Structure 1
Amino acid sequence: MRPATDPPVAEPLLSVQGLHAGYGHGEVLHGIDVTVPRGQVVVLLGANGAGKTTLMRCISGELRATGRIELDGDALGGLPAHQISRRGVALVPQGRGTFADLSVRDNLAVAALQLPRAERDVEMERWLDRFPRLAERSKVAAGMLSGGEQQMLAIARACIGRPRVLMCDEPSLGLSPAMSKEVFEVFEQLHDESGLAMLIVEQNAGLALGVADLALVIEGGRIVWRGTPRDLHDDDALVSAYIGDLEEI
């Protein structure tokens, strides 16, 4: 297996260096380094319990860590989650995290509060136009939506603040294969239209690698491999050890 060395990449936008984090006295991340280049999609793969969600929580400010987290050279470590969000790092958490009792429109309205007042309605309508199903159900409580509709609402809510980096934790979790494919088509469209940088944690490696510029494999809180999706696809030993079935690529 190749060592975890960096392939040539674009200019770093989000940078994580020497990150240590955990819960109580148990350390989960052991000096992890991750880079999301400007305008690229990075996919983080690994087994359950490897540290993927912990990394996302550290970057978003939900969990304290030691090490360095930077966005375009500016330190984010130690900032509260709402300040990190306003600086341009948006997280779609595992389980979507929508406000179940609020309508689709009200969920978007809450997210739009970080925008200038004059731009809020325009931005909300833009995202409702992108997701016609949400527009049709704009007055329905988020908790009454299907899993796929909730995921689309979570993506729209994260993007309405015009983030510089979009992070998504297990976006296909609990979705049908058809809906999972539709969600990843949304990611591809966002990237193609605006060059939005993304960090995606996903168990469905086939779908994830289909939209990725770079792939990372994490095991035991350490990055054990990094390279292009094609490099990963061609490494049978690596796929067998860490990924499983890649027939969907």
Structure 2
Amino acid sequence: MSRLELRHVCKAFGGLEVLADISLRVGAGEFVSILGPSGAGKSTLFRLLTGAQHGDGEMFFDGTPLDNHGRHFAFMPQRDALMPWRRILDNVTLGLEVQGFRRKAARARVAPLFAEFGLAGFERHFPAQLSGGMRQRAALLRTVVQERDMLLLDEPFGALDGLTRTAMQRWLEQMWRHHRWTALLITHDVREAVFLSDRIYVLSARPARIAREIKVPLPRPRGPGGDAARQASALEAEILDIILNPGLSPQPPEGYDHD
């Protein structure tokens, strides 16, 4: 059974159709990416999942209609959104405190994870004292410590420089292999999607439809060389062709009837 399933989801703002007939699924412990051109409605889809906006169609979690959105998802936006006046320890416990955890209990939950996230020794620092990559690791720690069923990652490395972004992608892939979180990533970076994902949904230009569902058969752990790198390059070229070819006919994912 899929953890998350969307069936024929649509969204319009007045007369502007943004999402048109989106159907997708995310299995337990799977890393899935949604990739598409700017303005295709990727972030709008996340707002539907989190309940910030409402659209048409059906959304299910573990086979049950999705109604209590906040109960299932932990959301990480593109910017780290760390509060500059709170120390890192207090930033990463914020989500737990909002849920009703006492400060002492929240700190006890996150304390063992600082070393794993490369933040040991920086608990008492303020965000401005950390590098961009460290701030993003703190933001991800704040997200996963809430222990929701699924992570929603909205271009979490989009604001980083190229070298830091590559390092963070490798770190996230390692962390995912260790924890096997169920994750849905929004990105406009083709290489990032191929490197991190088990499957990729490629959106057409607005109004967005599923142009293609692509399985990523690359072995893990994923590295920069060898046959896997050549396979990755071929997949990246295929995806770029889908995105850049405006005459491509959308091809629905396997198992969905779009008649």
TM-score range relative to shorter protein: 0.7 to 0.9
**Residue from 75, 92, 101 that aligns with 2:85:** 101
Task: Confirm or deny: 8 A CA contact 1:99 1:143 kept in the other structure.
Answer: no
Aligned to 1:204: 189
Which entry has the higher C-alpha Rg, 1 or 2?
2
Task: Confirm or deny: 8 A CA contact 2:2 2:28 kept in the other structure.
Answer: yes
CA shift, 1:26, in A, is 2.3
Change in Cα spacing, 1:205 to 1:237, as seen in structure 2 (3 Å) is closer
The sequence identity of aligned pairs, in percent, is 24
The one-letter code of the counterpart of 2:51 is: G
Task: Confirm or deny: 8 A CA contact 2:190 2:240 kept in the other structure.
Answer: no
Q: How does 1:158-177 map to 2 (within 5 A)?
A: 158-177=143-162
Q: More deviation in 91-100 or 220-229?
A: 91-100
Task: Confirm or deny: 8 A CA contact 2:202 2:239 kept in the other structure.
Answer: no
Q: Distance in 2 between matches of 1:102 and 1:235?
A: 40
CA shift, 1:175, in A, is 1.1
Change in Cα spacing, 1:142 to 1:67, as seen in structure 2 (3 Å) is farther
Q: Distance in 2 between matches of 1:165 and 1:130?
A: 20
**Residue from 14, 30, 35 that aligns with 2:25:** 35
Change in Cα spacing, 1:236 to 1:153, as seen in structure 2 (3 Å) is closer
Q: Distance in 2 between matches of 1:211 and 1:109?
A: 27
Change in Cα spacing, 1:20 to 1:228, as seen in structure 2 (3 Å) is same
Aligned to 1:89: 73
Aligned to 2:248: none
Q: How does 1:210-225 map to 2 (within 5 A)?
A: 210-219=195-204, 220=206, 221-225=208-212
SS in 1 for 2:175: helix
> RMSD value over aligned CA atoms?
2.6
Task: Confirm or deny: 8 A CA contact 2:194 2:236 kept in the other structure.
Answer: no
The one-letter code of the counterpart of 1:228 is: K
Q: How does 1:1-249 map to 2 (within 5 A)?
A: 11-77=1-67, 79=68, 84-85=69-70, 87-113=71-97, 114=99, 117=102, 119-132=105-118, 134-143=119-128, 145-219=130-204, 220=206, 221-229=208-216, 233-234=234-235, 236=237, 238-242=239-243
Change in Cα spacing, 1:126 to 1:240, as seen in structure 2 (3 Å) is same
CA shift, 1:105, in A, is 1.1
Q: Distance in 2 between matches of 1:23 and 1:144?
A: 41
Q: Distance in 1 between matches of 2:141 and 2:149?
A: 14
Change in Cα spacing, 1:61 to 1:215, as seen in structure 2 (3 Å) is same
Aligned to 1:5: none
Change in Cα spacing, 1:99 to 1:17, as seen in structure 2 (3 Å) is farther
Q: Distance in 1 between matches of 2:160 and 2:235?
A: 28
Task: Name the count of aligned residue pairs.
Answer: 227
Change in Cα spacing, 1:128 to 1:15, as seen in structure 2 (3 Å) is same
SS in 2 for 1:139: coil
Q: Distance in 2 between matches of 1:98 and 1:223?
A: 34
Q: More deviation in 173-182 or 38-47?
A: 173-182
Deviation digits for residues 21-73 of structure 1, max 9, x if unmatched? 24344221112112111111111111100111111111112222222222212
User: Gapped runs of 5+ residues in structure 2?
Assistant: 218-230, 246-259
TM-score by length of 2: 0.77
Change in Cα spacing, 1:96 to 1:57, as seen in structure 2 (3 Å) is farther
TM-score by length of 1: 0.80
Q: More deviation in 189-198 or 18-27?
A: 18-27
User: Gapped runs of 5+ residues in structure 1?
Assistant: 1-10, 245-249
Q: More deviation in 204-213 or 223-232?
A: 223-232
Q: Distance in 2 between matches of 1:135 and 1:172?
A: 21
